[in-house]
Amino acid sequence: MSELTRDAVAHLAGLARIDLSDAELDRMVGELGVILESVAAVQQAGTEGVEPMSHPLPLINVHRPDVARPSLTPQEALSGAPAVDEQRFSVPRILDED
């Protein structure tokens, strides 16, 4: 693996529009180097025959059929509303038109 340089970190910071001080650049060279070494170590793991997964535990998303069921009529849904306008809840305006 190629050695991470201070110039490379400065270039990446510039691309990300992050303003780093000289001390931060020096520190980031070491910290990013450790991260890159860790990623390289993980890439060396044998993954042949291992199925990709998004979660370490098996998850099942339970769905129910989308079936129309009896529900409230608009009049029943609005029956407890303090104010109604054209089959909708009417609430005080909090924003100007601007």
pLDDT more than 90, % of the chain: 62
CA distance 91 to 84: 8
76 falls within a domain: no
37 falls within a domain: yes
61 falls within a domain: no
89 falls within a domain: no
19 falls within a domain: yes
Half-sphere exposure of 73 (CA within 13 A, CB side): 3
3-state secondary structure of 26: helix
Q: What is the pLDDT of residue 9?
A: 94
Assessment of whether the complete model's pTM goes beyond 0.85: no
62 falls within a domain: no
Domain count along the chain: 1
Q: Tell me which residue range forms the domain holding 25.
A: 6-43
36 falls within a domain: yes
Amino acid at 36: L
What's 44's DSSP letter? T
Q: What is the pLDDT of residue 98?
A: 63
CATH of the domain at 25: 1.10.20
